Chains A and B, each alone.
Chain A
Amino acid sequence: TQLLEQSPQFLSIQEGENLTVYCNSSSVFSSLQWYRQEPGEGPVLLVTVVTGGEVKKLKRLTFQFGDARKDSSLHITAAQPGDTGLYLCAGAGGYNKLIFGAGTRLAVHP
């Protein structure tokens, strides 16, 4: 069974701080996706990483896929209150059978 472990589970920081969220597995994934979920809403895709070692930037968010395609990280620079939410990583586990991590709940305080 493929599992994705996210850390930390909870993160509470002040506006302007930097943070990194990790997504780790003992299995190799052909791709990993990062989603952001706000209260009362469904997850929304932020990025998909496909190639080992790939780095993608989305404004203040930097996503990296490990060389062995077993792990990924999300780094946020100068966090803002609008970044508050649940961040989920998901690995492709078959015919678009997404396997989700438990998520990292981020709170950014003004």
Chain B
Amino acid sequence: NAGVTQTPKFQVLKTGQSMTLQCAQDMNHEYMSWYRQDPGMGLRLIHYSVGAGITDQGEVPNGYNVSRSTTEDFPLRLLSAAPSQTSVYFCASSYSGRLNTEAFFGQGTRLTVV
């Protein structure tokens, strides 16, 4: 079972460049989300989606865009990368958005902005 697949695993960007972090899940999950993980700060929610065509902002959405055209894919776009966006990014999916549902995480993308 592939689960949640993120690509790339590592990326170095120059300030001002744009890029898309890919996330795909093969579990037919309705709910998908993006987190960033920074030292000493845990995981913070960037954006989430409750189904194809529906997205909403999380705790730290500035500088990021998302779209959800299919159930399987939930890409995260950095419009103009900044050093403050250096972080490890995790995509997660769950069967529904209901409380107590297990979230399945990808392996992460380590992004460095120089």
A binding-site residues for B, Cβ under 8 Å: 4, 9, 30-31, 33, 40-45, 48, 50, 88, 90, 92, 95-103
Contacts and interface: CB of A to CB of B under 8 A. Distances in A.
Main DSSP-derived SS at the A contact region: loop
B34 to A, nearest CB: 12
A92 B107 contact: no
Contact of B108 (A40, A98, A100): A40
Interface residues on B, range: 20 to 34
B58 interface: yes
B91 to A, nearest CB: 8
Contact of B41 (A40, A43, A102): A102
A102 B48 contact: no
Contacts of A103: 42
B31 interface: yes
Contacts of B101: 96
Contacts, number: 64
29 contacts: A4-B42, A9-B40, A30-B99, A31-B100, A33-B103, A41-B108, A42-B90, A42-B108, A43-B90, A43-B103, A44-B105, A45-B103, A48-B100, A48-B102, A95-B97, A96-B31, A96-B48, A96-B94, A96-B96, A96-B97, A96-B99, A96-B101, A98-B33, A98-B45, A99-B45, A100-B42, A101-B42, A102-B40, A103-B42
A98 B102 CA distance: 10
A38 to B, nearest CB: 10
Return the 3 tightest CB-CB contacts between A and B, nearest first: A42-B105, A100-B42, A96-B97
Interface in B1-46: 4, 31, 33, 35, 40-45
A100 B107 contact: no
Interface string B72-96: 0000000000000000001010101
Contacts of B105: 42-44
Nearest to A98: B103
Contacts of B50: 95
Contacts of B35: 100
